[in-house]
């Protein structure tokens, strides 16, 4: 974890000071993590904090060894990537280390020459990232995932969740927005597939199969209600297509208004959609 890596960096820095033969009286270590610096005032019980006692131990050794001089050691915050020469060199060496380059074990602190304690937070993070990649792969290979990919190449992502997480969208409307993107919305074509209705025809015009395409684009009885969506699309210089309606997240509000105005999915009460 980054937090643990920063602490190792401090340990290496103070180790260099400790091995310095010139006996400099004033030293400073720059760290680009304020959280790490504040952690020195904590109870040292979080993951990675096992390194801190070693840092403090060497710092005390330095203080005792140079007690006759006006010795000062400061750990201060340094903003990362701001053109500081020493900081840039450290970043370059850290990149080399990540690529597999290592230092002679004899030149590093004894505590770092052995296997470090297991970081549970790091293990959980790796497991989470692995599960996330597996889920994304399965989703994109699924039939429904492939349908969504046709009009939204970013799926699955947090962009859609952000688009529907607006205070003026009721829970029921958000549910319909999600259902219509997954082709899982209770239109007659879907309900007829599960024998919940006798016909897959559109109840408004009596023609065609009432699927997502018909409901959003082709039903003549919904033309007037569809007008507001068309105006928004024209301002964006686009065509009114499923790719535009479902793929452009700026169409979330116009689509929510359209679904509400239709009252097609009314179940005993009107879908709430407050005015903006």
Which pLDDT belongs to residue 275? Answer: 40
Which pLDDT belongs to residue 83? Answer: 67
Which pLDDT belongs to residue 82? Answer: 67
Which pLDDT belongs to residue 48? Answer: 75
51 neighbors 95 (Cβ within 8 angstroms): no
Under-70 pLDDT residues of the chain: 21-24, 67-69, 80-83, 267-276
Which pLDDT belongs to residue 188? Answer: 93
Closest CA to 176 of 268, 275, 264: 264
Which pLDDT belongs to residue 134? Answer: 94
Which pLDDT belongs to residue 69? Answer: 64
DSSP 148-170: HHHH-TT-SSHHHHHHH--TTS-
Please report the domains of the chain, with CATH numbers, ordered by start residue.
2-119 (3.30.420), 145-262 (no CATH)
pTM of the model: 0.57
Which pLDDT belongs to residue 22? Answer: 65
Which pLDDT belongs to residue 23? Answer: 61
Task: Please state, in angstroms and rounded to a whole number, the distance separating the CA atoms of residues 64 and 216.
Answer: 78
Task: Please state, in angstroms and rounded to a whole number, the distance separating the CA atoms of residues 47 and 1.
Answer: 9
Which pLDDT belongs to residue 271? Answer: 36
DSSP 212-248: HHIIIII-GGGHHHHHHHHHHHHHTT----HHHHHH-
Phi-psi domain of 237 (left: phi exceeds 0; alpha: psi -120 through 50; beta: other): left
- Rg over alpha carbons for the chain, rounded to the nearest Å, is 30
H/E element holding 134?
Answer: helix 120-141
Which pLDDT belongs to residue 68? Answer: 57
Contacts 24+ apart (CB under 8 A), 222-230: 222/262, 225/258, 225/261, 225/262, 226/258, 228/254, 228/257, 228/258, 229/254, 229/255, 229/257, 229/258
End-to-end CA separation in angstroms for the chain: 43
């Amino acid at each position: 974890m980054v937090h643990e890596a920063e602490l190792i960096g401090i340990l290496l820095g103070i180790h260099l000071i400790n091995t310095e033969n010139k006996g400099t009286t004033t030293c400073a270590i720059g760290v680009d993590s304020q959280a790490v610096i504040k952690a020195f005032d904590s109870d040292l019980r979080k993951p990675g904090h096992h390194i801190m006692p070693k840092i403090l131990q060497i710092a005390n050794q330095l203080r005792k060894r140079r007690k006759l001089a006006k010795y000062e050691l400061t750990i201060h915050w340094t903003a990362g990537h701001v053109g500081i020469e020493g900081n840039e060199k450290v970043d370059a060496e850290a990149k080399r280390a990540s690529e597999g380059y290592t230092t002679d074990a004899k030149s590093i602190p004894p505590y770092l020459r052995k296997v470090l304690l297991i970081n549970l937070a790091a293990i959980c993070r790796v497991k989470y990232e692995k599960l996330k990649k597996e889920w994304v792969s399965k989703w994109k290979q699924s039939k429904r995932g492939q349908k969504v990919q046709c009009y939204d190449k970013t799926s699955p992502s947090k962009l859609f969740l952000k688009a529907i997480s607006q205070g003026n969208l009721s829970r029921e409307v958000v549910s319909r927005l999600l259902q219509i993107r997954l082709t899982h919305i209770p239109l007659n074509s879907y309900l007829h597939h599960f024998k919940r209705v006798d016909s897959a025809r559109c109840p408004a015009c009596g023609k065609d199969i009432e699927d997502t395409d018909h409901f959003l684009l082709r039903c003549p009885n919904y033309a007037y209600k569809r007008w507001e969506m068309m105006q928004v699309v024209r301002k964006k210089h686009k065509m009114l297509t499923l790719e535009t309606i479902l793929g452009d997240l700026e169409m979330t509000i116009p689509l929510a208004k359209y679904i509400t105005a239709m009252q097609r999915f009314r179940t005993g009460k009107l879908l709430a959609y407050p005015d903006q």
